[in-house]
Amino acid sequence: MRVTALFIRILRQIVRDKRTLALLIFAPILVLSMLYLVFDGEDYIPNVGLVAVPDPVQSQLDLENSNIEYYETEKAAKKALSAGKLDGYLLFENQVPSVVLEGSDPSVNASVMKWIQEAMKPLQKSSLQQELDIDYVFGSDELGQFDYYGPALLGYFVFFFVFLIAGVSFLRERTTGTLERLLSSPLRKWEIVMGYVIGFGIFIMIQAAIITWYSIYVLDMVMEGSFGFVLLITLLVSLTALTLGTLLSAYANNELQMIQFIPLVIVPQLFFSGLFNLDTISDWLSWIGPFMPLYYATEALRNVMIRGYGWDMIDQDLLILAAFSALFMLLNILALRKYRKI
């Protein structure tokens, strides 16, 4: 009888907690659905340029299964490659073929080379078929998967741990009555929010610096650009996670409910953090990417760490990350109204 009473109490408790019930049922469905849409996408179709390819040769090439662009000069093709419009281009100089790859994504490089080998099969019996000379704009043939996915993982784990720690810590401020005492003081809501952001911000600056240094100089993650820019990007990622974590903690009553936000906030970030090629993701999901902070963080990190770009190529991504932080801080101020009694 006592066991029966206990399990009935547990059942009633779960049924009354609608958020836990939703987590048990709908969160796995959501994650599995996203995994299905991610992995059920189409095969990647490379964007390839043809530069000064003689008409007799071009007529023999198999140009299917790719997006082809034609260029008169190599300068125009290289400009398109640097702008991200091409994955690589095939160049013929004095009847000698060569390939130039964008180089920052090993899987895309493999797709381009596979397509070029298939396209040039009709030339195997021709004297024009020669061993290809391969060059890279960014990276090299030694660029590994960890080098490419490293920037995405760096941004993702910084975001995840700051979000979790900030949310739980701010929740503890509420449950212990500290926040209530602050709200009854002359402090304004924006002053409270800024105080917490600056207080936590000092520690996330230290965390971002240590993690960034460790990833680059201990794990030997590829680093072509400025360490200062990488540090700035990770700081903005941390600030975004901090403000989002404190915002969502306002809608949680305990640590368990805070953790329940992970499948809804952290897991979707994973799919759009650059770990998966968004060009192959189902159309049902691809539009979500621009609404995710890590979408911009990963692009900025790769532009610096792999491509060696400077401020002019990452400023837009950084401004968007700063805008996310500003928006979450504003929403934090508005969320505090529900706790202020006077």
**CATH at residue 106:** 3.40.190
Please tell me whether residues 78 and 179 are part of one structural domain. no
Separation of alpha carbons 296 and 318, rounded Å: 8
Tell me if 10 is assigned to some domain.
no
Please tell me whether residues 295 and 314 are part of one structural domain. yes
Please tell me whether residues 154 and 217 are part of one structural domain. yes
φ, ψ at 167 (rounded to 5°): -65, -45
What does pTM read for this prediction? 0.80
Tell me if 96 is assigned to some domain.
yes
Q: Which of 113-117, 298-302, 322-326 has the lowest mean pLDDT?
A: 113-117
Domain stop point among 91, 111, 136: 136
Q: Which residues contact 231 (CB under 8 A, 6 or more apart)?
A: 208, 209, 212
Domain stop point among 136, 165, 198: 136
Separation of alpha carbons 318 and 33, rounded Å: 31
Mean pLDDT of the chain: 80
Please tell me whether residues 111 and 187 are part of one structural domain. no
Half-sphere exposure (CA, 13 Å, Cβ side) for 5? 2
242 or 251: whose pLDDT is higher? 242
Separation of alpha carbons 135 and 260, rounded Å: 48
Tell me if 84 is assigned to some domain.
yes
Tell me if 262 is assigned to some domain.
yes
Q: Please tell me whether residue 91 adopts helix, strand or coil conformation.
A: strand
Please tell me whether residues 273 and 241 are part of one structural domain. yes
User: In terms of residues, how long is the chain?
Assistant: 342
Please tell me whether residues 181 and 328 are part of one structural domain. yes
Domain stop point among 113, 136, 159: 136
Tell me if 267 is assigned to some domain.
yes
- Split at pLDDT 50, 70, 90, the class of 97 is confident
Tell me if 42 is assigned to some domain.
no
Please tell me whether residues 177 and 303 are part of one structural domain. yes
pLDDT surpasses 70 at 39: no
DSSP state of 30: H
Q: Tally the domains of the chain.
A: 2
- Split at pLDDT 50, 70, 90, the class of 15 is low
Tell me if 8 is assigned to some domain.
no
What per-residue confidence (pLDDT) applies to 49? 84
What per-residue confidence (pLDDT) applies to 197? 80
Please tell me whether residues 166 and 249 are part of one structural domain. yes
CB-based contact 61:49 (threshold 8 Å): no
124 is in which domain, residue-wise?
47-136
Tell me if 17 is assigned to some domain.
no
Please tell me whether residues 76 and 120 are part of one structural domain. yes
pLDDT surpasses 50 at 276: yes
Please tell me whether residues 233 and 296 are part of one structural domain. yes
Please tell me whether residues 92 and 178 are part of one structural domain. no
State the sign of the Cα–Cα–Cα–Cα dihedral 312, 313, 317, 320. positive
Please tell me whether residues 53 and 166 are part of one structural domain. no
